[in-house]
């Protein structure tokens, strides 16, 4: 009989885009993988990998305890029916409520905490509630996996008196054979690229304001990403598009399923986020020898060194402006060296094989 494992996430997009390599590896090892997600957008693509997909009543935005109770009851039914060997929970609500159900049914489980998110940024009562819920869902996990040093310290404190352990892993890792080193010669020092959701917490407003000041200096910005109405820091699509239309050196390219070409063409990939787990886009950029410019926040600081790019202070337009200018003024030799050392950093620290080996170890 095949070993059965369950992956739970608040979107099927998340699992397909960030964990399809891990899922494929599990399947090739003869493990049966079942996906649980509230949306079915990527069920067809996930099914093509060889998994079975089930829709669950999970609302990303709702704080209604009734809807959470309905989710818990549904998970109880599914887990009793499938009887998985282990459950892997991704994103906050699965971390909490799937973790809670696994604890009640004594099913081994692992919570992957990709970043502490907007509730920790906000602080106050919302943060206190979030801490309580993380403890509720993660208290008996085999591991609560985090992706950066700051999250490791905070979660270790949160779980210090509970049976679970906290472990840091290098995010999702990067497939170094797919995101390969590219020639430096084709790059120009004045092209920046943002890849990510169009959210306030990603620093989009600061990014637009600062790049508008470079209109006459030959420094350009391309933006790739989609709008996320389910996120509490979502940005109005109409207002965003109107603003971008009036800034000549900023181009919005919409959502792209494959960003490799754009990373290759960019001089730098930029991320002005307020907080991260371990940003996949920055890891992919380093793997493709494209240096990075990012905010001085948890997650980003784990990837930005003097060998990979430049840091600036979050929510500070002046600091962001100085970082962009400093990056743009590198000599050809300095830029080429930064590209080479960026790839080496990825090779030394971000290989997805190490992440896959860690997850598969829970099934042995």
In a domain, 183, yes or no: no
- pLDDT above 80 (res 118): no
- Which among 136, 168, 200 is the end of a domain? 168
Section 185-204 average pLDDT: 85
- pLDDT above 80 (res 267): yes
Q: Are residue 322 and residue 259 in the same domain, yes or no?
A: yes
- Which among 168, 200, 215 is the end of a domain? 168
Section 94-100 average pLDDT: 97
Q: Order of strands across the sheet with 250-252?
A: 250-252, 220-224, 191-195, 268-271, 292-295, 309-312
Torsion of CA 65, 69, 72, 74, to 10 degrees: -130
Contacts of residue 181, defined as CB under 8 A and 6 or more positions apart, other chains included, come to 287, 288, 289, 343
Contacts of residue 112, defined as CB under 8 A and 6 or more positions apart, other chains included, come to 88, 89, 90, 95, 145
The residue that leads in pLDDT, 344 or 115, is 344
Q: Are residue 94 and residue 145 in the same domain, yes or no?
A: yes
Q: Are 312 and 323 in contact (CB under 8 A)?
A: yes
Query: Residue 36's pLDDT band (boundaries 50, 70, 90)?
Result: very high
Q: Are residue 308 and residue 209 in the same domain, yes or no?
A: yes
Task: Give the single-character DSSP code of 4.
Answer: E
Angstrom distance (rounded) from CA 141 to CA 155: 13
Contacts of residue 346, defined as CB under 8 A and 6 or more positions apart, other chains included, come to 174, 176, 179, 283, 286, 287
Q: Are residue 149 and residue 298 in the same domain, yes or no?
A: no
Helix or strand run (H / E) with residue 79: helix 65-82
Angstrom distance (rounded) from CA 141 to CA 160: 13
Q: What is the pLDDT of residue 237?
A: 94
Query: Residue 122's pLDDT band (boundaries 50, 70, 90)?
Result: low
Q: Are residue 325 and residue 205 in the same domain, yes or no?
A: yes
Mean per-residue pLDDT over the chain, rounded: 93
Q: Look up tokens 């059965």; give the residue.
A: 4
Angstrom distance (rounded) from CA 182 to CA 90: 32
Angstrom distance (rounded) from CA 271 to CA 206: 11
What string of DSSP letters covers 214-256? GTTTT-EEEEE----TTSTTB--HHHHHHHHHT-TTEEE----
Q: Based on the structure, what is the number of domains in the chain?
A: 2
Q: What is the pLDDT of residue 188?
A: 59
Q: Are residue 22 and residue 136 in the same domain, yes or no?
A: yes
CATH number at residue 329: 3.40.50.2000
Phi first, then psi, for residue 300 (nearest 5°) are -70, -40
Q: What is the pLDDT of residue 182?
A: 75
Q: What is the pLDDT of residue 233?
A: 86
3-state class percentages of the chain: helix first, strand second, coil last, to nearest 5: 45, 15, 40
Q: What is the pLDDT of residue 59?
A: 82
Q: Are residue 195 and residue 164 in the same domain, yes or no?
A: no
Domain that holds residue 298: 191-349
pLDDT tens digits, one per residue of 299-330 = 999 999 999 999 999 999 999 999 999 999 99
Beta bridge partners of 250: 221
- Which among 168, 203, 219 is the end of a domain? 168
Q: What is the pLDDT of residue 361?
A: 96
Query: Residue 40's pLDDT band (boundaries 50, 70, 90)?
Result: confident
Q: What is the pLDDT of residue 215?
A: 87
* Helix-helix angle 204-211:317-328, to 10 degrees: 60
pLDDT tens digits, one per residue of 147-191 = 999 999 999 999 999 989 999 999 999 999 999 887 765 555 689
- pLDDT above 90 (res 229): no
Angstrom distance (rounded) from CA 21 to CA 126: 34
């Amino acid at each position: 009989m095949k070993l059965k494992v369950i992956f739970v996430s608040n979107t099927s997009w998340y699992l397909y885009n960030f964990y399809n390599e891990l899922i494929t590896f599990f399947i090739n090892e003869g493990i049966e993988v079942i996906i649980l997600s509230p949306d079915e957008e990527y069920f067809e693509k996930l099914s093509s990998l060889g998994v079975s997909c089930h829709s669950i009543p999970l609302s990303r935005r709702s704080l209604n305890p009734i809807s959470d109770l309905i989710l818990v009851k549904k998970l109880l039914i599914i887990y009793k029916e499938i009887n998985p060997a282990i459950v892997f929970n991704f994103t906050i609500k699965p971390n909490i409520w799937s973790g809670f159900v696994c604890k009640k049914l004594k099913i081994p489980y692992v919570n992957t905490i990709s970043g502490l998110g907007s509730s920790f940024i906000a602080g106050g009562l919302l943060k206190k509630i979030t801490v309580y819920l993380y403890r509720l869902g993660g208290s008996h996990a085999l591991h609560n996996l985090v992706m950066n040093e700051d999250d490791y310290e905070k979660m270790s404190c949160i779980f210090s008196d509970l049976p679970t352990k906290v472990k840091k892993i290098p995010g999702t890792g990067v497939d170094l054979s797919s995101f390969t080193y590219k020639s430096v010669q084709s790059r120009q020092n004045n092209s920046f690229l943002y890849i990510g959701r169009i959210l306030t917490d990603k620093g989009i407003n600061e990014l637009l304001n600062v790049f508008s000041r470079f209109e006459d200096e030959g420094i350009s910005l391309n933006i790739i990403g989609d709008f996320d109405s389910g996120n509490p820091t979502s940005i109005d699509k109409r207002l965003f598009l109107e603003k971008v239309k009036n800034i000549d050196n900023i181009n919005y390219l919409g959502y792209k399923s494959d960003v490799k070409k754009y990373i290759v063409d960019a001089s730098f990939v930029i991320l002005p986020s307020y907080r991260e787990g371990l940003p996949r886009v920055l890891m992919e950029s380093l793997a493709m020898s494209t240096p990075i410019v990012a905010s001085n926040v948890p997650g980003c600081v784990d990837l930005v060194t003097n060998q990979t790019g430049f840091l600036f202070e979050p929510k500070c337009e002046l600091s962001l402006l100085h970082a962009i200018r400093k990056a743009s003024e590198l000599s050809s030799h300095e830029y080429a060296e930064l590209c080479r050392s960026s790839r080496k950093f990825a090779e030394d620290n971000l290989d997805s094989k190490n992440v896959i080996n860690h997850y598969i170890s829970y099934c042995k």
